Amino acid sequence: MGQVGYHISFRSRTHGPISSGMIHRHVRDYEKDVARELAEQAEGTWLFKLDMRLRHKTPYYTTQIDKRPIAWNRWKVHDNGVIYGHWLEGTGSRNAPNSIFPGYWSLRDTKAELGVGYRRREVAEEVLEKHQARGRLI
């Protein structure tokens, strides 16, 4: 078994006149910042959902949930390979029908919540506003 987690990436397209080569660096910085912000939100949402669903809260599993960059615009949100992570999520070989515990499905629900277009768009627009406030991507 490996880690429980998923990858987040973000790409955008540029349109309109490009007056200097700096636009490419600004767009790359923007994509990198959006991907990082989506990863931070995914980590926070996953932890929140676990906190709401765990019956017997012990801090070890939640302290292992983390994010890390795997490319300039791609992040991985994962549980550092905790051996019982798949069981807690409900995707392990020891879950139903082998046991009565179906899993908490917190990662699946996080992916569903952040995977929809409107939430990703909202994050991208917030990051764009920050970039525009610094005089980039106007």
pLDDT in tens, 62-87: 999 999 999 989 999 999 999 999 99
State the residue range of the domain holding 105: 5-133
Residue 138 placed within a domain: no
Digit-coded pLDDT (tens) for 88-135: 998 888 787 777 888 899 999 998 888 776 788 899 999 999 998 988
> Which strands make up the sheet holding 5-9, listed edge to edge?
5-9, 74-78, 66-71
Q: How many domains does the chain have?
A: 1
Residue 71 placed within a domain: yes
Give the residue from 13, 45, 3, 1 showing the smallest Cα distance to 124. Answer: 13
pTM beyond 0.85: the answer is: no
Q: Do the beta carbons of residue 101 and residue 95 sit within 8 Å?
A: yes
Residue 129 placed within a domain: yes
Residue 38 placed within a domain: yes
For residue 81, give the amino acid letter.
Answer: G
Residue 103 placed within a domain: yes
